[in-house]
Amino acid sequence: MNQNTNHVISLPPGLIYQQLTKENLIDFAQTNQGITITSCLIALGLLVIIPDGKKGQLATGYWGGKKEKKAARKKAQEQMANISRNSVALYVGTPEDIQKRQEQEWIKQGKLKKQRKPEAFNWFKPAAESLYLPDAQRGISAIGASGSGKSFSVCDPLIRSSLDQGFPTIIYDFKYPAQAKRAVGYALKRGYKVHIFAPGFPESDVCNPLDLLKDEEDAIAAGQIAQVINRNTDLTGGKASGDKFFEDAGDSLVEGIFLLTKAVGTLVENQRYCDIMTAQAILSLPDLVSRLEFASQEKLNVWTTRPLSQIISIKESEKTVAGIIGIAQRTFQKFLKKDFMGAFCGKTTLPLDLERKQLIVFGLDRNNRDIVGPLLATILHMVINRNVSRIKPRRDPLVVSLDELPSLYLPQLVNWLNENREDGFCGILGYQNLGQLENRYGKELTRAILGGTATKFIFNPQDPDSAKTFSDLLGEFQIHFKSKSKSSGTGGSSHSKSDQKNKRPLLEPAQFIKLPTGKAVIINPAYQRAKESYVPLLEQIQIPEFDLKEQEWSENLWESIREHLIKVKRASHRVSNQQRVRQLKERMALVEQLFPLPTNGAIQAPASFSPTPALIPNSGSSSSTATSHWPPRLSDQDVSPDLLEGSF
């Protein structure tokens, strides 16, 4: 027994090692214990080699790519297949399947003879890829300096996307008719009813601001109208150094005059006198406060005269009263110009409630911006607010394009973006940089507007402060590099290498300022990777050839459409200068009779006042019949068939 033990102990160690390595190691690795030990060794090696996820990283920024765009396309197609007012998808660049479907519909309707042949593949110039934007109802901002491509690359394609899907659409055309040319023909081709409200242009519809009030007690709407007019008259963005008391009192008086003008229609039982000419006539009455006080005691509703209580209470202070009335008169006198009164006086032909396949273009005359801008902004504001604040919910979304947003002030814009997206509001906002927006809306509202738009297209802002803000928004990414060091001493020199980590902005402010036309950073909540959303993309936006041809076709058709519009408007509500002067005199006589001085005794009955119906635009039922034929469809006889035939 001892001999055997001594014999085993006396074996050379190398022999035992050799036997374990060559004969038993493979067999041992195939056992459960061997597999476990091998797996642990591999895992330890990987932990040493591979960084531990994001722990220890200095920055986590990165650019998205094809995977993010693919995920967004999938979600957008689902939303487009199941449209609802609070789930909207738009796109930049018409997808091929939508192009084919539209052409097939036009062939069935006889508008197109045959379907276009698909373009041959070009290795040197690949076809433009459609860019899908899910959750568009959460707001879209297109930010970029003039010439950066925000209108051509974003605003116009998104409008076309809305029209392709049949959504009711509102366009604010700051450079009218630049954007209208590109959109109106495109909409008509897809079966839309088109209306244009562009004061100062003969093709404009009529929108009487007083028609936006339900009755003479609608103080909320009257107050909103007064506020929007005042803020858009003040071009300093609320930074004017005027006396706030007089400004607020002037707003209250304007609100009261609107309600009083609405009450005139009730008093004479004829709503045709409810317009800004009558409002101006009331403000022009001598000793106005005494007349208002007497009328409020005798015949006006208490809720109608409530906004007038302030000026009535200070009637003894003649200078103060004169200052308040002067502010209110300044508001109305801007609009009472010969070339613009036709768009604001008369029966409203502009649709106030938008449903599917309706388009309204609000066009600004930039040469007379100070005159028409405030009332244009007011009517735009009231129409949008009316359509997203319905008691009965909308069935489809309302797409609103507001390019060059800082050119007007919309008090409820932040509320629309953050509160009314569930009610169907889908806003597309275009502005040049944050500084421009802050000058109009202030710093706090600018932050709220930027935060209220989940989708952002950031082009070259040409503003260092904006570029820095956007660079900070994108964040930073981590970079790795090796450093070498050399040291020398009495024992000689030594060399060492080490791995270093650092971080840098995903896109530096200087790089933002260098972005070429059409290149933008794109952020959308559907651009997702793992558990992260809003992954940014850096894209050179390209517009498909199909879209460019459709836009060119629409622009070529514009003059024919405009001529038809002018013809219809002149036939329905054209008023000569002589008739307009007589209307003004007629209203002066009417308000003098309705609101006499207290010393005149009893108020005369308005029944003795007999206006001439011919002087009143749209006074008969024929006006509604004449305007009902607009917009001209592609088969309308008033549009030249030669121009439309073969144009597709």
Residue 616 maps to a domain: no
Give how many domains the chain has, as a whole number. 3
Omega before 177 cis (within 30°)? yes
Whole-angstrom Cα Rg for the chain: 35
**Amino acid sitting at position 254:** V
252 within a domain of the structure (yes/no): yes
Same domain, 403 and 530: yes
CA gap 272, 193 in Å, rounded: 26
In a domain? residue 432: yes
Distance CA 523, CA 454 (A): 8
Tell me the one-letter amino acid at 394: R
Domain range for 21 is 2-49
If one counts every other C-beta atom within 10 angstroms of the C-beta of residue 448, the result is 16
638 domain-assigned = no
Q: SS3 breakdown of the chain: % helix, strand, coil, rounded to 5?
A: 50, 15, 35
Single out the residue in 521, 547, 573 at which a domain terminates: 547
Domain final residue, candidates 343, 368, 394: 343
pLDDT, averaged in runs of 10, over the chain (648 residues): 47 49 63 76 68 62 90 95 93 92 84 68 65 96 95 96 97 96 95 94 92 91 91 68 74 91 90 90 91 85 87 86 86 78 87 94 91 92 94 92 95 94 94 94 95 96 94 85 68 68 86 95 94 93 93 95 90 77 91 84 46 43 35 36 38
Q: How far apart are CA 186 and CA 445, in angstroms?
A: 34
Distance from chain centroid for Cα 241: 31
Q: What is the pLDDT of residue 62?
A: 85
Distance, CA of 533 to CA of 630 (rounded, Å):
45
DSSP class of residue 140 equals E
* Maximum Cα interatomic distance, the chain, rounded to a whole number of Å: 146
Judge whether 130 lies within some domain: yes
d(CA 393, CA 82): 17
Are 396 and 527 within one domain?
A: yes
CATH code of residue 415: 3.40.50.300
Asked if the structure places residue 573 within a domain, the reply is no
Q: Does residue 161 sit in the same domain as residue 247?
A: no
Residues 522 and 543 in one domain: yes
84: DSSP letter: B
Same-domain check for residues 186 and 277: no
Residue where the block lists tokens 């405030």:
374
Say if residue 282 is in the same domain as residue 369. Answer: no
Separation CA 317–CA 314 (nearest Å): 6
CA distance 265 to 213: 12
Same domain assignment for residues 103 and 183: yes
For residues 91 and 30, membership in a common domain is answered with no
Q: Is residue 189 part of a domain?
A: yes
Cα of 528 vs its chain's centroid, Å: 24
Q: What is the DSSP letter of 613?
A: G
Q: Which of 325, 343, 361 is the last residue of a domain?
A: 343
pTM comes to 0.82
Distance, CA of 145 to CA of 547 (rounded, Å): 24
In this structure, the answer to whether residues 404 and 431 fall within a common structural domain is yes
What residue has token string 């002037």?
A: 250
Show the tokens assigned to 400: 């609103």
| One domain, residues 274 and 387 | no
Side-chain half-sphere of 430: how many Cα atoms within 13 Å?
24
Alpha helices in 429-525 (DSSP H): 434-441, 443-451, 464-474, 509-513
Q: Are residues 316 and 244 in the same domain?
A: yes
Show the tokens assigned to 40: 């642990």
- What tokens appear for 153 in the block? 């690359």
Q: In whole angstroms, give the CA distance from residue 436 to residue 452.
A: 17
d(C-alpha 132, C-alpha 263), whole Å: 51
Cα–Cα distance for residue pair 503/475, rounded to 1 Å: 10
Does 576 reside within a domain? no
- Pure H helices in 148-243: 150, 156-164, 178-189, 219-233
Cα separation, 528 vs 350, in Å, equals 42
**Are 297 and 373 part of one and the same domain?**
no
